[in-house]
Structure 1
Amino acid sequence: MSGILFLSMRSLGQKYRLHSLQEDTVALREERDSLTERRDNIKQSLLDEADLDSTGVFASRLRKLFGN
């Protein structure tokens, strides 16, 4: 009887741990998406500023660096 109780408690603990891990996964995905958006905004801002350079050297180097 105590074995069944122990397994039930363990199963319940694993259920809560799984739920917690799922919440962590969602939070990490949201953070990844936020960082990706931030990186893209910074990249675009740098390219826009580089386009203001009349020589085009800075923009050319940034495009090579960014793979554009």
Structure 2
Amino acid sequence: MSNILDYLDWRGDLTLDQSPFNAVDNLILSCVSYIRFEGIVPNSTEAVSIAEAFGRFSALPEAEQQLRLRVDAF
């Protein structure tokens, strides 16, 4: 079964001009809002791309990859 990461691998290189914002993009941004960014984005004045934030999140030990909501709740 495919998941959000599969979708990003498949469609993540397209701009919004090439493929307008859609329901799946909305789902992805909704899921991102549940990530605890403490320790990933050091402060509110540092710009960090989604790709960089995901890299930092993925580098954390699994026990520290905390979501505010369990992933299997979706």
- TM class by shorter chain equals under 0.3
Higher alpha-carbon Rg: 1
The alignment's TM-score, normalised by the length of structure 2, stands at: 0.26
The alignment's TM-score, normalised by the length of structure 1, stands at: 0.27
Q: Considering fraction of residues, name the structure with more helix.
A: 1
